[in-house]
Amino acid sequence: MSASDVPTMYPVRPSVPSTARALGAQFGEAIAQLGETFRRIVSGWPEAGLRRQKRQTPQVVVVTGASAGIGRATVRLLAQRGSRIGLLARGKAGLDAAAAEVRAAGGEALPIPTDVADFGAVERAARQVEQRFGPIDAWINVAFTSLFAPFTAIEPNEYRRVTEVSYLGYVHGTKAALNRMRTRDSGVIVQVGSALGSRAIPLQSAYCGAKHAINGFTESVRTELMHEHSNVRITVVQMPAVNTPQFSWVRSRMTNHPQPVPPIYQPEVAARGVVYALDHPRRKQYWVGASTAGTIVAQRLVPGLLDRYLARTGYDSQQTDQPVSPDRPANLWEPLDGPGGEDHGAHGVFDNRSHSHSGQSWASRHARTLASGLTLASTAAAAQWARRRVQR
Ligand SMILES: NC(=O)c1ccc[n+]([C@@H]2O[C@H](COP(=O)([O-])OP(=O)(O)OC[C@H]3O[C@@H](n4cnc5c(N)ncnc54)[C@H](OP(=O)(O)O)[C@@H]3O)[C@@H](O)[C@H]2O)c1
């Protein structure tokens, strides 16, 4: 609603002095702008220049890291709407269990053991998916690994491995997807990102570097697609701390069991954000969880203060008080759900400390409705105020 609509909806009496009328109109306009600003804050900043993507339900979807954590929870949601899903990860136990869940929920599944660090393997997997299901509508990059340790305690080959899986794995997935989507001028790529891609923390330098790189790489690809006037969309979903198996199987050199920095959300909260982004890929990025929004905004406003805060708290906040062996099995080089291994599912060990809902994510998904409501209510209040003034 524009400011000029105000007098139409709430007729001002003819005797109104013109200054008061102008004042009321200005106030109404200011409130309308406030509503628009609010809409942008809760929804992320939509990019000018991108044509509105026609809403559609992707049918053929590839998910990397589909066997556990956020990828597994996402696959479950996609299966419920009948998607045909290429499931990529390394471990057989996790992949088989994910495929069984997809089929039970009404979807179709093609589990393909794949190491995302190997571009040839990713490209072959894409080909297999298209042979079985037809053109890939959407590609969701989720697979990652990490290493919890101070930078000085990480060997160069370990650093390279984390980067090859967690950063280049996304590059490989994006390339395999674009090899197909660009020629068809259709498709959606969703990158599962992290608040730590905007604000790095101690003990996760390799991971934070990869997550920062994904943002930069994706921004560049996005502008190239815009340059081509392509209808292929690419978006990033920035995640908060999520209760997934990673904290029990990522290589760690910390003395105690790793934990996500609270507040912790359940993987279903993350998965809902991913699927929403898939259906609404026009935005540059989505933020899931108030902690993600808070972290990204605080980093933009007071980065130095955060440096000092994280230097003081970042070691303790990433560990429980349970000691853990530095030699515990880790998924850096090999899957822990490989032959003879076990399915780890979507959830980690922090169920009793994790939130199943995020008010911020809900607000972000319903930004348009909320903003319209706010604008309407504010405009009504402004009109009421103006009317009272001129009646005095
Ligand atoms: N959990 C959080 O707190 C959190 C916070 C912010 C962002 N995120 C992001 O969310 C995504 C998923 O995290 P998560 O916590 O759900 O992870 P997770 O529980 O550790 O699951 C990781 C998945 O990736 C697969 N994977 C690992 N290495 C692979 C490789 N080399 N090739 C192919 N697949 C591989 C794993 O299966 P295999 O080992 O069998 O291959 C598994 O399916 C990541 O991108 C992460 O950055 C998570």
Q: Which domain holds residue 309?
A: 57-377
User: Which residues does residue 323 pair with via DSSP β-bridges, in sequence order?
Assistant: 256
In a domain, 12, yes or no: no
Number of domains in the chain: 1
In a domain, 296, yes or no: yes
In a domain, 133, yes or no: yes
Asked about 207 being catalytic, the answer comes back as: yes
Q: Which of 85, 331, 342, 343 to mutate to test the pocket of ligand 1 (most atoms within 8 A of CB)?
A: 331
Amino acid type, 338: G
In a domain, 355, yes or no: yes
pLDDT in tens, the chain (392 residues): 333 322 222 222 333 344 444 444 454 455 445 544 444 444 443 333 333 334 456 599 999 999 999 999 999 999 999 999 999 999 999 999 999 999 999 999 999 999 999 999 999 999 999 999 999 999 999 999 999 999 999 999 999 999 999 999 999 999 999 999 999 999 999 999 999 999 999 999 999 999 999 999 999 999 999 999 999 999 999 999 999 999 999 999 999 999 999 999 999 999 999 999 999 999 999 999 999 999 999 999 999 999 999 999 999 999 999 999 988 999 999 999 877 889 999 999 999 999 998 887 767 766 665 555 565 666 566 667 667 766 66
Residue 131 belongs to domain with CATH number: 3.40.50.720
What is the DSSP code (8-state) at residue 339?
T
In a domain, 187, yes or no: yes
In a domain, 384, yes or no: no
- State residue 284 phi and psi, 5-degree precision: -65, -40
Q: Which one, of 234, 142, 129, lies nearest residue 188 by Cα?
A: 234
In this structure, the residue with its CA closest to atom 34 of ligand 1 is: 89
Angle at 203 (CA atoms; ends 199, 204), nearest 5 degrees: 55
User: How crowded is residue 213: how many other Cβ atoms within 10 Å of its Cβ?
Assistant: 17
In this structure, the residue with its CA closest to atom 36 of ligand 1 is: 65
Ligand 1 pocket check for 190: Cβ under 6 Å:
no
In a domain, 52, yes or no: no
**Among the atoms of ligand 1, which is closest to the Cα of residue 95?**
40
In a domain, 45, yes or no: no
The structure's pTM equals 0.84
